[in-house]
Amino acid sequence: MNYLDFSGTFARSDLFLHGVTLTVLLSAIALVLGMCVGIAGALMRLSGSRLLSSVAAAYVEVIRNTPFLVQLYIVYFGLPSVGIRISEMTAAILSLTLYAGAYITEIVRSGIETISKGQREAAHTLGMSSYQTFRYVVLKPAISAIFPALTSQFILIMLASSVVSVISVSELTGAANDVQGLTFRSLEAYLVVATIYLILTAIFKGIFAAVDRTLFSFRYVAR
């Protein structure tokens, strides 16, 4: 008996290619939108306003301490119960954005806090405006500090995106579900998907490492 037969699985390579494309697209959109949410959340945490800081902290705690699957169900199945109907793709993007935003909030906050108050005060003493201080004194060092964490977050988002297959989004894991339904070869389909995830992770880690060394070479020189 032939326990492993990949012929039928490989014959559906177009489904896997579509799944890879959608997975990367979802992850990229979620990271960009999550960055917007994360920056806003970090500024709220550091605003000095107890109300804004508490709201941002509560958001972070709720997202980080509940399963992503539950969050996805609340968005996709819960919102229609209050009259808000959204598509599967919209639910996937919204859920991934909120999920990413909570973690990025803390990443950005920690990056900004690496810039000492003395550096900002020195910039003001030299006559720099608040915008110039933020751009030249805070922004680049902060981005340098958080870039490795942000790249790791992209990988985590990409892996977490597999969960959205439960609401019929045909990303990579969803493609595997479709292939195994057509071929009845579950082991082969999910082994292929696991291999693709490993390859994607290795590729993006290599790309991000190259970008890091190119944009933030001063950090490596300092070492």
Cβ–Cβ under 8 Å, residues 125 and 99: no
Instruction: Give pLDDT, residue 216.
Output: 77
* pLDDT per residue as tens digits for the range 85-124: 999 999 999 999 999 999 999 999 988 888 777 777 777 7
Distance CA 21, CA 35 (A): 21
Q: Return the SS3 of 6.
A: coil
* pLDDT per residue as tens digits for the range 8-54: 999 999 999 999 999 999 999 999 999 999 999 998 998 889 999 99
More confident residue, 115 or 203: 203
Work out the mean pLDDT of the chain and round it to a whole number.
Answer: 90
Instruction: Give pLDDT, residue 155.
Output: 96
Report domain 11-222's class. mainly alpha
Instruction: Give pLDDT, residue 28.
Output: 96
What percent of the chain is predicted at pLDDT more than 90?
72
Instruction: Give pLDDT, residue 51.
Output: 96
Does position 221 have pLDDT exceeding 60, yes or no?
Answer: no
More confident residue, 128 or 108: 108
Domain chopping of the chain, boundaries: 11-222
Instruction: Give pLDDT, residue 119.
Output: 77
Q: What is the 3-state secondary structure (H, E, C) of 164-214?
A: HHHHCCCCHHHHHHHHHHHHCCHHHHHHHHHHHHHHHHHHHHHHHHHHHHH
Instruction: Give pLDDT, residue 219.
Output: 56
Instruction: Give pLDDT, residue 208.
Output: 95
